[in-house]
Amino acid sequence: MLSDKIELDGKRADGFVFEFGPVNMVFAKTSSGMIGCGVFNVMAFDKFLFPAALIKSASGPITDISGLLEGTVKEANESASKKGVIVGMGARAALSMM
């Protein structure tokens, strides 16, 4: 497991990379929301009223925290949408809203 601190506008987030053979599970979270790569079902987090957004990369699979933060929102659950997260926005901006 790799982890890193992420500085955002006025808050901090924690980024994580878990290696599972040929695929990495990459996500970043604040105390009130998270963004993650394609292995996450962000709609499942809505059952717990936890804001979550699925991030897509413009250049292939997301393998690290930098790639995650450079991506865009592909899907946002209702809890994230209520915080202003919309499809197409940058991942770092979405994480800052949560």
Please tell me the distance from the alpha carbon of residue 48 to that of residue 92, in angstroms, as a whole number: 23
CATH number of 2-97: 3.30.1980.10
Q: Taking 90 as the threshold, does the pLDDT of residue 9 lie above it? A: no
pLDDT, one tens digit per residue, over 31-47 is 999 999 999 999 999 99
Q: Where are the domains of the chain?
A: 2-97
Closest by CA to 24, choosing from 77, 84, 65, 53, is 65
Question: CA-CA distance, 88 to 46, in Å (whole number)?
Answer: 20
Q: H or E segment at 25?
A: strand 23-30
Residue 46 phi, psi (nearest 5): -65, -30
pTM (2 decimals)?
0.94
The pLDDT value given to residue 10: 84
How confident is the model over 80-96, as pLDDT tens digits?
A: 999 999 999 999 999 99
